[in-house]
């Protein structure tokens, strides 16, 4: 015969049992209250106890059985009523469903979608390229001189750096301009495409700069493409995105891959704040060295290119004053763009 458990420890067990499911309830019943249960067996064992102890044992065991019974019955009642509630709440198909929070497009996606649709109307297609670039596409083919500061570790994330053979360097692309090179290697002119994507810069993170952001590159190569074509495209684009009463200016600038180069600013004024010029893009006529690097004859073909920052445009349109908000994924921010 198995050793008889003592009354105190059984009492403790039953009063701490967790009876939160029909299965737990049933195993409690089997273990303590059924015909082969512990308490029943203990009661049956009274006859083997010392005659002087029998009366006291019987009393204590009957009390134990009563306690177990009432624990069982109470738990049974509670479980039935909570299951009943669950069934009632889910069983009525005419009740309105619980609220279902719908997502919405991120402000960056909205700006990007709009930029794309404006260029689609002007006959541009879309191309893309890898975010991990080699030295040739990110720098050399774009006419960057060997000692250009962008090739510095301070500005660029190098994934592989070879001091002696820079042509083997691998970088996280610092701009979308390398996609121009890939496109011109794949397709003969005439070609006209925009190239949206992520770019990376090794900059300190502040309200104005982040280690990654988005650009939309543009490229048009054909016979007789002129600076006037470029200006017309940029002005039409900005008018669509910011409204036709937009005030803009176009300034001369410098990029290794365009000649001449320019930048476009728009006059930005919100609410009753004083306005300011804000640079939205760089552009220019594709440098003959760039065309040569992809074996396109610059005597036959000319082209223009441009590149714009999507974060900057988004921040001005939605009056967002900290670029990090665009990357935090804080619902309190995102909920403001339903």
User: Which residues of the shown chain bind ligand DAH in the complex (CB under 6 A)?
Assistant: 175, 177, 217, 255, 258, 282-284, 305-307
Cβ–Cβ under 8 Å, residues 213 and 199? yes
Rank residues 39 and 215 by Cβ distance to ligand DAH and give the closer one: 215
**Residue with the CB atom nearest ligand DAH in the bound state:** 307
Rank residues 76 and 202 by Cβ distance to ligand DAH and give the closer one: 202
* Smallest gap from residue 307 Cβ to ligand DAH (A): 3
Residue 158 CA to residue 171 CA, distance in Å, equals 4
Rank residues 39 and 313 by Cβ distance to ligand DAH and give the closer one: 313
Which conformational region is residue 178 in: left (phi greater than 0), alpha (psi within -120 to 50 degrees), or beta?
A: alpha
Q: In what order do the strands lie in the sheet with 302-309?
A: 125-126, 191-200, 212-222, 302-309, 276-286, 258-268, 248-255
* Smallest gap from residue 130 Cβ to ligand DAH (A): 16
Residue 135 CA to residue 146 CA, distance in Å, equals 11
Cβ–Cβ under 8 Å, residues 173 and 199? yes
Rank residues 72 and 304 by Cβ distance to ligand DAH and give the closer one: 304
* Smallest gap from residue 161 Cβ to ligand DAH (A): 21
Rank residues 64 and 283 by Cβ distance to ligand DAH and give the closer one: 283
Q: CA 197, 227, 250: angle at the middle one, nearest 5?
A: 75
* Smallest gap from residue 223 Cβ to ligand DAH (A): 19
Residue 203 CA to residue 3 CA, distance in Å, equals 75
* Smallest gap from residue 177 Cβ to ligand DAH (A): 4
């Amino acid at each position: 015969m198995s050793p008889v458990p003592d009354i105190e420890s059984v009492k403790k067990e039953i009063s701490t049992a967790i009876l939160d499911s029909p299965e737990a309830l049933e195993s409690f019943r089997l273990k303590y209250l059924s015909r082969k249960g512990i308490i029943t067996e203990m009661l049956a064992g009274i006859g083997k106890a010392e005659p002087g102890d029998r009366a006291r044992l019987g009393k204590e065991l009957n009390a134990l059985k009563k306690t177990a019974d009432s624990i069982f019955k109470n738990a049974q009642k509670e479980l039935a009523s909570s299951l009943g509630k669950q069934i009632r709440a889910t069983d009525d198909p005419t009740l309105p469903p619980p609220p279902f929070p719908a997502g919405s497009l991120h402000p960056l996606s909205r700006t990007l979608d709009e930029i794309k649709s404006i260029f689609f109307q002007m006959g541009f297609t879309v191309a893309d390229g890898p975010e991990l670039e080699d030295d040739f596409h990110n720098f050399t083919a774009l006419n960057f001189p060997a000692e250009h500061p962008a090739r510095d570790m301070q500005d660029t994330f190098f994934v592989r750096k070879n001091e002696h053979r820079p042509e083997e360097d691998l970088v996280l692309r610092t701009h979308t301009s390398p996609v121009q090179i890939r496109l011109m290697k794949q397709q003969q002119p005439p070609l006209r495409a925009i190239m949206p994507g992520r770019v990376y810069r090794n900059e300190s993170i502040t309200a104005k700069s982040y280690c990654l952001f988005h650009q939309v590159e543009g490229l048009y190569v054909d016979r007789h493409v002129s600076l006037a074509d470029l200006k017309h495209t940029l002005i039409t684009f900005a008018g669509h995105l910011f409204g036709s009463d937009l005030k803009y200016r176009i300034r001369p600038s410098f990029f290794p891959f365009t000649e001449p180069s320019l930048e476009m600013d728009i006059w930005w004024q919100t609410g009753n704040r004083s306005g300011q010029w804000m640079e939205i893009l760089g552009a220019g006529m594709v440098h003959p060295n760039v065309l040569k690097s992809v074996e396109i004859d610059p005597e036959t073909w000319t082209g223009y290119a441009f590149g714009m920052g999507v974060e900057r445009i988004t921040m001005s349109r939605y009056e967002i004053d900290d670029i990090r908000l665009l990357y935090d994924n804080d619902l309190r921010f995102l909920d403001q763009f339903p």
